[in-house]
Structure 1
Amino acid sequence: MKKLLIPYKWRLIIILWVAYFLNQGDRQIFNVVIPLIKADLHISDVEIGLVATIFTLIYGILVPVAGFVGDLVSKKKIIFFSLLVFSLGTLLTGLSNGVILLVIFRSIATGGGEAFYYPAATSLIAQFHKKTRAMAMSIHQTSVYIGTIASGFIAGYIGENYGWHMAFLSFGIIGVIWAFIVLFGVKNAPAPKEEKDRLDTPSLKEIIVTIFQKKTVYFLSMAFGCMCFVNIGYLTWMPTFLHEKFQLSLSASGLHSTLYHFIFAFLGVMLGAKISDKLASKRKQIRMEIAFFGLLLGAPFIFWMGITDSKEACYAAMALFGLFRGIYDSNLFAALFDVIEPRFRASSTGIMLAFAFIIGALAPVVLGWIKTIAGLDTGISFLSIFYLMGAI
């Protein structure tokens, strides 16, 4: 019987899939246990939204730095230190006893650590995957969905039974362990022979000038910013929305706020990747067109989530929103990499993420403010406007 050997390029996806699972899982823990943190530390809706907003701002400010660094130094080392730092930040968040420590450990340490993961990881994947690029990136992207679903339920369960502190401690410890698996299991990609002469280390000026000459980067960044505003607002406040409107437990609200949405997003991302990989050689603009339809068709279901008084209808709206969100996700960075040469990919990813997350950073505190004056129903429906803006 022959021993099954998995090619390294797919082993890389497995290792990074778990790393990104933890990246997204650590992010969702906070959102699920918001009611427990508020009650324990006596924090208002606006204050808790501010912690999430600062987290996203730190991420947005540092991610272009991460992109530039990712094009200059070892991507393997960046991924290792990113995972180590954000996992330690998550662990220490579990020891917080007030808003200031939440900002230091959650917003700054965890947000800053997470910022360095994605540009380096996607660039490394692109180097190992040529013809299978969209599929490889889509598989990597599914860890966002599964990580958010699983961590939402697990964090809610741990929070209800053992306290919100333990939820952060548990995920933090696992992340630290996996960081060392990344260190010993990932390797940097050698430059292809035909590109070796061109893949010399670019200067910072060359990186900036080259990227900002591409109009596609501007359009993709603006659309992604609108999508991120919706996504961050949704993930931050949807568990609380279900908990308060439909009287679900924390573990149930953490599960249902992500389960239907991300199952259908998984289907959407795989469908979008399959279509785009098949048609990309025949129709250059196909990736942009798929992203456009994902945003346009997702908007009505975001509006529906907020206005419906039926729990089942809300779940259906979350699922269909997820389907079109996944279709959009499937071509997000593959479209960018079609117009950016390999040595600038981490930098371009960082710039696009920075623009998007700085815009998206406003969502938690804006929805916290809307919640106090008009209710979270209005706030959730309000998010649909940004999907329409992104499509346009």
Structure 2
Amino acid sequence: MKPQKPLRPGYKWELLALLCLAFFFHQGDRAIFGVVLPQIRAELLLTGSQEGLVGSVLFFTLAILMPFAGFVGDRFSKTRVITGCLIFWSTATLFTGFAGGVVALVALRSVATAGGEAFYAPSAYSLLAKFHRSTRSIAMSVHQTALYIGVMTSGFLGGWIADCWGWRSAFYVFGGCGILLGFVFIFRLRDTNDEKSLEPPPADAPPAPAPAAEPTLFQSFAMIFRTPTALLLTVAFTAIVCVNNAYVVWAPSFLQDKFNLSLTLAGGYAMFFHHFGAMAGVLAGGAFSDYRARTRPTARLELQTVAMALGAPAIFWMAMAPGLVSVCVAMTAFGLFRGLYECNTHASLFDVIPPRFRATAVSMMTMMAFLVGSLSPLLLGRMKDIYTDGSGLTRGFAVLASLYLVGAIAVGFARARTFRRDRVGLV
């Protein structure tokens, strides 16, 4: 997996394509639970709180494993870590189709699946940053579109499979395909320490920090706490994650309950319109950010601030709109602003974190965000149980809109007060 000779020119784009496929299943496998949840509820007789618990335990497991995953990504072969976790979470997804109750769902869907998925992001983003220096935002934006395509596909395809053959078959199909992809990675996913295989940084980039000794575990974890901009970005990312976690688990049920849609349409609409807008936002925002950041280093943070400020009313509109068309338009707008933020989630963090700490920084930011964000599916499930008139999910999404305003304030403060002091060289 780790060749001694230089890689062929252009391998960085093959690497991007491979990681996009992995991220497709990373997110598609996660999203199908929400899509087929009405059938699971009917067969296994789950309450709203139990349904929310499955999602919350998954996100909580992701959070507590992230620091270890980041440290592993900084110390061991990233290609081996990525390949191993892809095969592991896909196997857990496949076996979720055999679950017979809430305990099995929590064990297979929440703990085992999240246990594999947790190790993907720190190594994958660090590997992308290594190979894509001058094209970092656009590469991460393209990679981010795989998230949206995976979720959009799971919406329609997962719902259609469930309507035709039952919810268990959806897990069999997505899990089996991920396992096959893992075996492709064994032969195609590669890394290198040969600088001739890597592009040089732009001539006008700030100087890179001098090589230093391998960081200790404490140094790696402390880096994000010593960097104010990274902490403020973590606050904003936490707001993003809280809303996203609740949306992926509950949006299909929200549409089905409110408009009496079929499983295919409820899952398809919930995942397609929002993530189509997000995909457009992340592609446009990534290209714009790479262009503007060359001459205006704060451009990424400025775009993220505006995106979160405009995303808040879009989420509130989605929750309160009375008609299906207006809800779908609001979902698209919410997705657009989410994408404009997420195109720079990691690029902005890497602007203030030295390369040797990046995988751990990603893991720490993700851990803190998912520790808080793991509560949102459970809270919305509880609201669904409390408000028996069917307004629980509507009220829940309306409240979550305020979190985007908190995120906008955090990123805006980072842009105005801390970023220029924290910025590191572009490497």
Query: Quick one: which of 235, 241, 245 aligns to 1:222?
Result: 235
Q: Aligned ranges for residues 126-165 of structure 1 at < 5 Å?
A: 126-165=129-168
Q: Secondary structure at the match of 1:339?
A: coil
Q: Aligned ranges for residues 1-20 of structure 1 at < 5 Å?
A: 7-20=10-23
Q: Aligned ranges for residues 274-353 of structure 1 at < 5 Å?
A: 274-353=287-366
Match in the other structure for 2:76: 73
Cα deviation code 1:143-182 (max 9, x no counterpart): 0111000011111111111111111111111111111111
Aligned residues of 1:79 and 1:116 also touching (Cα < 8 A) = yes
C-alpha distance in 1, partners of 2:247/2:291?
32
Q: Which range is displaced more, 211-220 or 329-338?
A: 211-220
Q: Which range is displaced more, 196-205 or 270-279?
A: 196-205
Match in the other structure for 1:377: 394
C-alpha distance in 2, partners of 1:206/1:38?
45
Match in the other structure for 1:256: 269
Q: Secondary structure at the match of 1:284?
A: coil
C-alpha distance in 1, partners of 2:79/2:87?
12
C-alpha distance in 1, partners of 2:286/2:128?
15
Query: Quick one: which of 82, 91, 97 aligns to 1:88?
Result: 91
1:43 is displaced (CA, Å) by 0.8
Query: Quick one: which of 29, 53, 59 aligns to 2:56?
Result: 53
What is the identity percentage for the equivalent residue pairs of Structure 1 and Structure 2? 43
Q: Which sections of structure 1, spanning at least 5 residues, go unmatched?
A: none
C-alpha distance in 2, partners of 1:297/1:222?
17
C-alpha distance in 1, partners of 2:348/2:128?
15
Q: Which range is displaced more, 217-226 or 256-265?
A: 256-265
Q: What amino acid does structure 2 have at the position aligned with 1:383?
A: L
Match in the other structure for 2:412: none
Q: Which range is displaced more, 316-325 or 266-275?
A: 266-275
Q: Which range is displaced more, 56-65 or 377-386?
A: 377-386
Aligned residues of 2:32 and 2:154 also touching (Cα < 8 A) = yes
Q: What amino acid does structure 2 have at the position aligned with 1:145?
A: Y
Match in the other structure for 1:239: 252
Q: Which range is displaced more, 17-26 or 241-250?
A: 241-250
CA 1:280 to 1:197, structure 2 compared with 1: closer, same or farther past 3 Å?
closer
1:212 is displaced (CA, Å) by 2.3
**How many residues end up aligned between the 2 structures?**
388
Aligned residues of 2:243 and 2:376 also touching (Cα < 8 A) = yes
1:286 is displaced (CA, Å) by 1.5
Aligned residues of 1:71 and 1:201 also touching (Cα < 8 A) = no
C-alpha distance in 2, partners of 1:213/1:28?
35
Q: Which range is displaced more, 204-213 or 326-335?
A: 204-213
Query: Quick one: which of 114, 120, 136 aligns to 2:123?
Result: 120
Q: Secondary structure at the match of 1:71?
A: helix
Q: What amino acid does structure 2 have at the position aligned with 1:149?
A: M
C-alpha distance in 2, partners of 1:255/1:82?
28
Cα deviation code 1:197-226 (max 9, x no counterpart): 826532212212333211111101111001
Aligned residues of 2:307 and 2:340 also touching (Cα < 8 A) = yes
Q: Secondary structure at the match of 1:130?
A: coil
Q: Are residues 1:179 and 2:182 paired?
A: yes
Q: Secondary structure at the match of 2:288?
A: helix
Q: Secondary structure at the match of 1:33?
A: helix
Q: Which sections of structure 2, spanning at least 5 residues, go unmatched?
A: 1-7, 201-207, 410-427
Q: What amino acid does structure 2 have at the position aligned with 1:160?
A: D
State the TM-score, normalized to the length of structure 1: 0.96
Q: What amino acid does structure 1 have at the position aligned with 2:383?
A: I
Cα deviation code 1:86-108 (max 9, x no counterpart): 10110111110011111111110
Aligned residues of 1:55 and 1:103 also touching (Cα < 8 A) = yes
C-alpha distance in 2, partners of 1:205/1:45?
40
C-alpha distance in 1, partners of 2:294/2:150?
32
Q: What amino acid does structure 2 have at the position aligned with 1:389?
A: V
1:311 is displaced (CA, Å) by 0.5
State the TM-score, normalized to the length of structure 2: 0.88
Aligned residues of 2:66 and 2:363 also touching (Cα < 8 A) = yes
1:196 is displaced (CA, Å) by 11
Aligned residues of 2:223 and 2:361 also touching (Cα < 8 A) = no
Aligned residues of 1:56 and 1:357 also touching (Cα < 8 A) = yes
Q: Which range is displaced more, 146-155 or 373-382?
A: 373-382
Q: What amino acid does structure 2 have at the position aligned with 1:252?
A: L
Cα deviation code 1:114-136 (max 9, x no counterpart): 01001100000000011001000
Q: Aligned ranges for residues 358-369 of structure 1 at < 5 Å?
A: 358-369=371-382
C-alpha distance in 1, partners of 2:278/2:212?
35
Cα deviation code 1:312-339 (max 9, x no counterpart): 0001100111111110001110000011
1:351 is displaced (CA, Å) by 0.3
Query: Quick one: which of 46, 61, 64 aligns to 2:67?
Result: 64
Q: Secondary structure at the match of 2:75?
A: coil
CA 1:223 to 1:191, structure 2 compared with 1: closer, same or farther past 3 Å?
farther
Query: Quick one: which of 39, 42, 57 aligns to 1:36?
Result: 39
C-alpha distance in 2, partners of 1:199/1:192?
17
1:6 is displaced (CA, Å) by 7.7
